[in-house]
């Protein structure tokens, strides 16, 4: 087991290249199950979620091979319908996409309940509602979801909650169903468009991805293709926030600025200078940052996945900022750790009230989830002294080479093995 150490106070400067989007990658990889020949995915991020999904493909008989660590060839020809009740499916959230993809391909799926970040309750009732509407019978037997259909028939499905996972999962299950499926109140995240683009390249007929009504006309077969993933807007947002907190002049490369409008608007309100070009952003913090309030919303609103890193930035800003997460109201586990580092944050009525500016102090802290990890790394960059961060398995689920990318920007950040005593303490905490 390893920990990250950060020596605070080194100014970030230079250029950082953003990797492929995690939340696309984790759907594109299972989507390949639906094809009858080789799918090649280019620009995948080097993160543990992607590796775990590739291993799951192998468990069901697929063959996978990597070129240069970023291009994944998936041959689905020998895949078979096989239960995946436990094991790797618990390591990440997106294993739920094996439900839609295997249902679409084999008319059945047995998958354990997914893992992923602990952000409070994360039900999958809308996914199940969609599968049932398409004609599947769904049961939960000892923690695994059994999904079986004699045939899948297109249906009109209204999502009671706007859900990224349910929207993509229903698309995966519906692309080979008979007739037309309409998903109403669909999520509109860029990753949904990316998955629809892959499926369309495979021969699927999908209209409206990126709007709240998606129409899918089922086709009998899907073929292999080549697809290049979109850049990771959440990783980009994390480095933009790091640059606003600890930077001088930072260029974020391989980014689609339109995917980050809500974040950029808030940063400009705070006094951060941001210049946009085609696929780059230039970020330079003003002399004095001004606090703002943020409320997370579904896309194109402020993303919940940037709420925790943004909270760290507010410790640097003058006055009081209120952070409210309407997607995951319990996504607050980073707060206690930031307080250990001297942050002034009160939690009232489910919102975090951050008063700044304060000088953060290096401390030993634990990443309870992926974005808490990012929030603590940014805190370490601006804190006095050394910050030690454990819980790196969360960070590695979503950030490719974070220490290397930050080192290239001028940070003093490195990984070290934990001692046996530290591992014992970490496991008991």
Ligand X SMILES: C=C(OP(=O)(O)O)C(=O)O
Ligand Y SMILES: CC(=O)N[C@H]1[C@@H](OP(=O)(O)OP(=O)(O)OC[C@H]2O[C@@H](n3ccc(=O)[nH]c3=O)[C@H](O)[C@@H]2O)O[C@H](CO)[C@@H](O)[C@@H]1O
Q: Nearest distance from residue 200's CB to ligand X, in Å? A: 24
| Residue 389 within binding range of ligand Y, rule CB under 6 A | no
Q: What is the CA radius of gyration of the chain?
A: 22
Query: Among residue numbers 293 through 312, which ones bind ligand X (CB under 6 A)?
Result: 305
Q: Nearest distance from residue 186's CB to ligand Y, in Å? A: 11
Q: Applying CB under 6 A, which part among 73-81, 163-171, 263-271, 282-290 lies near ligand Y?
A: 163-171
Q: Kindly determine how many residues on this chain lie close enough to bind ligand Y according to the rule CB under 6 A.
A: 21
Please indicate whether residue 117 is annotated as part of the active site.
Answer: yes
Nearer to ligand X, 81 or 329 (CB): 329
Q: Which of 15, 17, 118, 122 binds ligand Y (CB under 6 A)?
A: 122
- Rounded to 10 degrees, the C-alpha dihedral 297/51/121/118 comes to -90
Nearer to ligand Y, 123 or 179 (CB): 123
Give the separation between CA 82 and CA 106, rounded to whole angstroms.
10
Nearer to ligand X, 22 or 266 (CB): 22
| Residue 117 within binding range of ligand X, rule CB under 6 A | yes
| Residue 370 within binding range of ligand X, rule CB under 6 A | yes
* Residue the block writes with tokens 């030993």: 364
Nearer to ligand Y, 174 or 272 (CB): 174
335 is in an annotated binding site: no
Q: Applying CB under 6 A, which part among 12-20, 86-94, 285-293, 416-424 lies near ligand X?
A: 86-94
| Residue 398 within binding range of ligand X, rule CB under 6 A | yes
Residue nearest to ligand Y (CB): 165
Which residue ranges are tagged as binding site for UDP-N-acetyl-alpha-D-glucosamine?
A: 93, 122-126, 305, 327
* Residues engaged in binding ligand X (CB under 6 A): 22, 92-94, 116-117, 305, 370-371, 398
* Catalytic residue list: 117
Contact residues for ligand Y, defined by CB under 6 A: 23, 26, 93-94, 121-127, 161, 163-166, 187, 304-305, 327-328
């Amino acid at each position: 087991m390893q920990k990250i150490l950060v020596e605070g106070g080194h100014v970030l400067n230079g250029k950082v290249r953003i990797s492929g989007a995690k939340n696309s990658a984790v759907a594109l990889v299972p989507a390949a199950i639906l094809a009858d020949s080789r799918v090649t995915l280019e620009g995948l991020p080097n993160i543990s979620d992607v590796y775990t999904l590739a291993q799951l493909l192998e468990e069901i008989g697929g063959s996978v091979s990597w070129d240069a660590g970023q291009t994944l060839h998936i041959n689905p020809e020998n895949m078979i319908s096989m239960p995946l009740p436990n094991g790797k499916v618990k390591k990440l959230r997106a294993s739920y996409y094996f439900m839609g993809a295997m249902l679409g391909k084999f008319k059945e799926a047995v998958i354990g309940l997914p893992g992923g970040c602990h952000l409070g309750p994360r039900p999958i009732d809308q996914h199940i509602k969609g599968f049932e509407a398409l004609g599947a019978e769904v049961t939960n037997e000892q923690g695994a979801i059994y999904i079986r259909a004699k045939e899948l028939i297109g249906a009109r499905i209204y999502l009671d909650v706007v859900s990224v996972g349910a929207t993509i999962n229903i698309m995966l299950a519906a692309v080979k169903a008979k007739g037309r499926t309409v998903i109403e109140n669909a999520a509109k995240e860029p990753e949904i468009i990316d998955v629809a683009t892959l499926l369309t390249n495979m021969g699927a007929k999908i209209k409206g991805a990126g709007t709240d009504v998606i129409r899918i006309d089922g086709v009998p077969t899907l073929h292999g293709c080549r697809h290049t993933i979109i850049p990771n807007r959440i990783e980009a947002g994390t480095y933009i926030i790091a640059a606003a907190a600890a930077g001088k002049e930072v260029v974020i490369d391989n980014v689609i600025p339109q995917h980050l409008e809500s974040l950029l608007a808030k940063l400009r309100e705070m006094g951060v200078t941001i210049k946009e070009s085609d696929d780059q952003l230039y970020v330079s913090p003003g002399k004095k940052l001004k606090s703002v309030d943020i409320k997370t919303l579904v896309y194109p609103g402020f993303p919940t996945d940037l709420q925790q890193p943004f909270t760290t930035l507010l410790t640097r800003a003058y006055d009081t900022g209120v952070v409210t997460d309407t997607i995951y109201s319990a996504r607050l586990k980073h707060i206690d750790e930031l307080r250990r580092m001297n942050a002034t944050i009160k939690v009232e009525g489910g919102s975090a009230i951050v008063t700044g500016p304060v000088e953060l102090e290096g401390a030993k802290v634990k990443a309870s989830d992926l974005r808490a990890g990012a929030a603590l790394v940014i805190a370490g960059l601006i804190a006095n002294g050394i910050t030690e961060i454990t819980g790196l398995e969360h960070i590695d689920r979503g950030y490719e080479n974070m220490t290397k990318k930050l080192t290239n920007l001028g940070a003093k950040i490195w990984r070290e093995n934990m001692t046996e005593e530290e591992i014992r303490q970490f496991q008991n905490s």
